[in-house]
Structure 1
């Protein structure tokens, strides 16, 4: 059994579906790492902080980019909601040679009762980021059928306004990882659906080596696909929205319920 909090490779299928003015879908694959943050920063995993190679993970790419450790950052985010005691693993895409871009990283916090919170660290192509802390108001465990809602406060796509709200859903394994995020417009209709999910396998040195060679330049591939899809939307006449000034609020909570699967 592969536990994400012991370190894992996740072979993700990423899916986006736009609805309304233009109905469009696209899919691609990428390999993500699930890194227990304490073990990672202490150098106890096959991939180590700031180690150069086909893949690398730089702690300064995460959090507030202020030089604080990843452990310090996530404890500070969880402390206001009384979850700083949780063990945390971050699901993230590693840097490729000479380049790194993470559309989203998920910090998963659990204790002996289960998954308690997920911090979604969302980045845009303008070098900005926002942190959505997803949890229940009473901090009860998050099940794979729970839907958690929060206001959209960050500009990501030049084809979507900064309004409406997100609906988050998570599956933290074992043996898999999944995150689903829907964007609901001000009219209450689902305008964009996204998912990132796939099987998880142990983070061993041989498995890591194979994955690195197989997906050596995946960060470049992802940013190229983002721009390619943007060009297709422009050619179909979708209006480009100018980027607004980023809000001073860099973090927010998503705690609302939106029903459950039956």
Structure 2
């Protein structure tokens, strides 16, 4: 049964404030998958597959440790186990015709309309993957939560490894806002967010997504990233920082390693 899963139509925004201003906005379609519902979605929607070759699909191995273990089980290594009455939402885009690149995925542990904890899963263009488990959330308003943690993963070649991430989550019945801002020496230097209006996930919604919005998804993330990087390098003349070798235990996939970290 598909009850909690949703499809979102909205935008992704990046606003760089220092050392030079640069901003862009792109339309974006993304999903909120209740992890417990993934098998049911795969069985009821012909174009969608869960660990199966379909035009749209979610593979367990595309997330977290890169293992074939179910995503929810992989999360047990990072968050308290999901209890009765709780659910975990994966905010992501599925593979489209076999391809996807999601710069960030969010795993949201919910109880009713309350966010309990989360994992921000970051993929860089070098083939590395890092997670930020967020278990000490602060309630900052109705349906709003915040968290902070030090940056310890190389994402953009135009930022060094210093700074602190400020996460903002606003999760309402019909809208979601997920923000990640980078602060350095007390000043915000980069603001990013995704925002979307939700509709129930259904066969019709997935078919419409597949036919009308293929370029607003993870299919188009890499070309957009490369284009914006070219603008920052050649037009804005930003300094380029080389990728350091990952050293954090929360870097789950290191391109220089022979294998991803094992799931216990």
Query: TM-score higher than 0.5 here?
Result: yes
- Count of matched residue positions in the alignment of Structure 1 and Structure 2: 244
User: Distance between the aligned counterparts of 1:119 and 1:198, measured in 2?
Assistant: 19
Q: How does 1:197-212 map to 2 (within 5 A)?
A: 197-212=195-210
Shift in CA distance, 5/102, structure 1 to aligned 2, threshold 3 Å: farther
User: Distance between the aligned counterparts of 1:57 and 1:142, measured in 2?
Assistant: 33
User: Distance between the aligned counterparts of 1:119 and 1:163, measured in 2?
Assistant: 20
Q: How does 1:249-260 map to 2 (within 5 A)?
A: 249-250=249-250
Residue 186 of structure 2: SS of its match in structure 1?
coil
Deviates more, 1:216-225 or 1:151-160: 216-225
Deviates more, 1:40-49 or 1:104-113: 40-49
1:137-187: per-residue Cα shift (whole Å, max 9, x none)?
A: 7x87985443211010111000001111100010122111110110001x2
User: Distance between the aligned counterparts of 1:52 and 1:205, measured in 2?
Assistant: 17
User: Distance between the aligned counterparts of 2:39 and 2:139, measured in 1?
Assistant: 28
Shift of 1:51: 3.3
Q: Say whether the 8 Å CA contact 1:159–1:239 is kept in structure 2.
A: yes
Deviates more, 1:208-217 or 1:7-16: 208-217
User: Distance between the aligned counterparts of 1:141 and 1:198, measured in 2?
Assistant: 20
Q: How does 1:176-195 map to 2 (within 5 A)?
A: 176-185=175-184, 187-195=185-193
Q: Say whether the 8 Å CA contact 2:60–2:71 is kept in structure 1.
A: yes
Q: Say whether the 8 Å CA contact 1:49–1:58 is kept in structure 2.
A: yes
State the partner residue of 2:71: 70
C-alpha RMSD of matched pairs (Å): 2.3
Q: Say whether the 8 Å CA contact 1:10–1:201 is kept in structure 2.
A: yes
Residue 38 of structure 1: SS of its match in structure 2?
helix
State the partner residue of 2:255: none
5+ residue gaps, structure 2, are 253-264
Shift in CA distance, 108/146, structure 1 to aligned 2, threshold 3 Å: closer
Q: TM-score, normalised by structure 1?
A: 0.85
